[in-house]
Amino acid sequence: MTSNTIKFIFENKIHKILNPDPNETILNYIRLRLKKTGTKEGCAEGGCGACTVVIGELKKNNIVYKAINSCIAFTPSLEGKQLLVVEDLMLKNGSLHPVQSAMVNYHGSQCGFCTPGFVMSLFSMYKNNTSYDEKTIEESISGNLCRCTGYRPIIDAAKNLNNNKSDQFKKNKKKTISLLKKIRPESIFINSKNKKYFAPRTVNELKKIIKKYPNLDFLSGGTDMSLIVTKQKKDIKNIIYLNSIDELNYIKENGKYIEVGATTPLRKFELFIKKYYSDFNIILKRYGSVQIRNVATMAGNIATASPIGDSLPLLLSLDASIVIESFNKKTTLKLKDFFIGYRKTKLKKGQFISSIRIPVYKKNIFKAYKISKRIDDDISSVCASFNLAIVNKKIKNIKIAYGGMASIPKRAIYCEKILLNSNLSEDIILKAQRSLEKDFQPINDMRASKNYRMEIAKNLLMKCFIEIKKNRLIRLNY
Ligand SMILES: Cc1cc2nc3c(=O)[nH]c(=O)nc-3n(C[C@H](O)[C@H](O)[C@H](O)COP(=O)(O)OP(=O)(O)OC[C@H]3O[C@@H](n4cnc5c(N)ncnc54)[C@H](O)[C@@H]3O)c2cc1C
Ligand code: FES
Ligand code: FES
């Protein structure tokens, strides 16, 4: 059945919105309609965390809590979920939630503008973990900026949560689960203010919609797409929301390749990929923030085709393929053949990426490096990825790819040719470094100058081979 009413749990009750504006952000809904003004707007582009809210989702008779940036999520995406805002944390008798008490006790707030966002990020961490070490804490607040308190007192507050593990949400869990079961998400079709919004629940439904309306714009996590509304101040007229399709939220491995369904959030993938390619996990840990990775997808990163999309050089060096579907066709394409120009791909109207296939190289060495101005929540200046085998002291099966070095993420073909079948000597690496000038002519922009980019690209190549030769990591931050 298809509905035009969005249903979600708010303040322990079922909340309904009839035919909402598909371009209205959750942040605006909370502040302007629910009149809950604790949640703040800072940047309106997912970068500061002031708007962080927590979404509860029913998964196998349990509730999974996810911190998200409400400024870049549209209201219809609340269908079938629980919405928690900072006002929900305090009890009716005025008692503070353990996260709030810890922030007070450890002086984690000064002007207070960022505080609701930090509280909600820490609340999500509190609910999803049993203990909190410094790494978990730092990761949990990597998407929250504070301009005045500084982070040390906030981290101290978070550490103190190790001693306090019970809250009202734990006590109400059964009731919330039964409410979530009552509002099991339905397929949605909204036609409001001249805008159409479809949220199918199956691939079959998706294909029927595409057949009828081939010009709809696909929306997954919305971490790129929503900025059309919040930053460019334009409307997205016709949306087809993919993240409602659970069928595409999967990761499988068949010995030859790992297959990642299009709606799989990056946060789920980053945990899975660690045992295959640990540097992939390390790069994803620095990809946006927890709020971003809780909703953003790799398919969205690929379709965006940004030259500085972080997963792209890694996938290129692993020689990944994408599965592209339309209402009546399914094809597989190597990612290296997918990008055709600056933010241009081979995707045609009505075609969507249904999954990504990443080969499993059991004997290869895989390395990836991201250079950005900040460690957390920053886009790459240069991202480099290396995949190779060493057989009888010779370099074999080598694939190198860079982001930030051209108008598209690209393999370093000349460099690969020099290294293939060579010994791992300094002379060869120096020659390979020089060949990068044939592979790439980077540009100057606000992130880096062309000279800096080239220098970094060469240095990362050298770093990769020093790490391989010395058999140890040369890294500052982990
Ligand atoms: C604060 C912030 C930090 C960020 N940090 C990083 C970072 O560190 N590294 C990085 O690489 N990126 C970063 N990004 C960019 C963005 O998060 C990624 O590109 C993300 O992977 C996009 O995925 P999504 O699911 O949110 O895509 P959406 O925004 O939903 O869609 C993006 C584009 O892909 C299309 N699309 C989505 N899914 C499909 C599909 N299955 N088939 C066909 N087309 C599809 C959409 O139509 C749209 O054109 C950041 C963004 C923000 C706001
Ligand atoms: S307002 Fe800055 S992340 Fe949403
Ligand atoms: S307390 Fe002022 S911005 Fe964080």
pLDDT in tens, 345-396: 999 999 999 999 999 999 999 999 999 998 888 999 999 999 999 999 999 9
Q: Measuring from atom 3 of ligand 1, which residue has the nearest CA?
A: 288
Pocket test for ligand 2, best of 69, 141, 223, 291 (most atoms within 8 A of CB): 69
At residue 478, the pLDDT reads 58
DSSP β-ladder status, 195-199 and 238-241? parallel
**Residue 69 near residue 143 (C-beta atoms within 8 A):** yes
Q: In this structure, what token pair is assigned to residue 295?
A: 């909703």
CA-146 nearest atom, ligand 3: 4
Residue 288: nearest ligand to its CA?
A: 1
The pLDDT of residue 27 is above 90 = yes
Q: In this structure, what token pair is assigned to residue 367?
A: 């390395």
Distance 146 CA to ligand 2 centre (A): 12
The rounded mean pLDDT for the chain is 96
Q: Other C-beta atoms within 10 Å of 393: how many?
A: 9
| pLDDT > 90 fraction of the chain, expressed in percent and rounded | 96
Q: How far apart are CA 264 and CA 365, in angstroms?
A: 26
pLDDT in tens, 433-447: 999 999 999 999 989
- The answer, yes or no, to whether any atom of ligand 1 lies below 6 A from the CB of 217, is yes
Nearest residue to 290 (alpha-carbon basis) of 157, 111, 118, 163: 118
pLDDT (mean) for 413-439: 97
Q: In this structure, what token pair is assigned to residue 57?
A: 């989702």
CA-69 nearest atom, ligand 2: 4
Q: Other C-beta atoms within 10 Å of 65: how many?
A: 19
- The answer, yes or no, to whether any atom of ligand 2 lies below 6 A from the CB of 335, is no
pLDDT band with cut points at 50, 70 and 90 for residue 4? very high
DSSP β-ladder status, 344-345 and 339-341? antiparallel
At residue 162, the pLDDT reads 86
Q: How far apart are CA 256 and CA 360, in angstroms?
A: 5
pLDDT in tens, 60-71: 999 999 999 999
At residue 166, the pLDDT reads 84
**Residue 70 near residue 45 (C-beta atoms within 8 A):** no
Residue type, 219: L
- The answer, yes or no, to whether any atom of ligand 3 lies below 6 A from the CB of 112, is yes
Pocket test for ligand 2, best of 29, 37, 51, 294 (most atoms within 8 A of CB): 51
pLDDT (mean) for 315-325: 98
pLDDT in tens, 372-386: 998 888 999 999 999
Pocket test for ligand 2, best of 45, 146, 378 (most atoms within 8 A of CB): 45
Backbone conformation region of residue 128, classed left if phi is above 0, alpha if psi is from -120 to 50, else beta: alpha
Q: How far apart are CA 241 and CA 20, in angstroms?
A: 14
pLDDT (mean) for 167-195: 94
Q: In this structure, what token pair is assigned to residue 228?
A: 């059309």
Domains of the chain with CATH codes: 2-87+175-241 (3.10.20.30), 98-166 (1.10.150.120), 365-470 (3.30.390.50)
In the block, residue with structure tokens 């080239």? 454
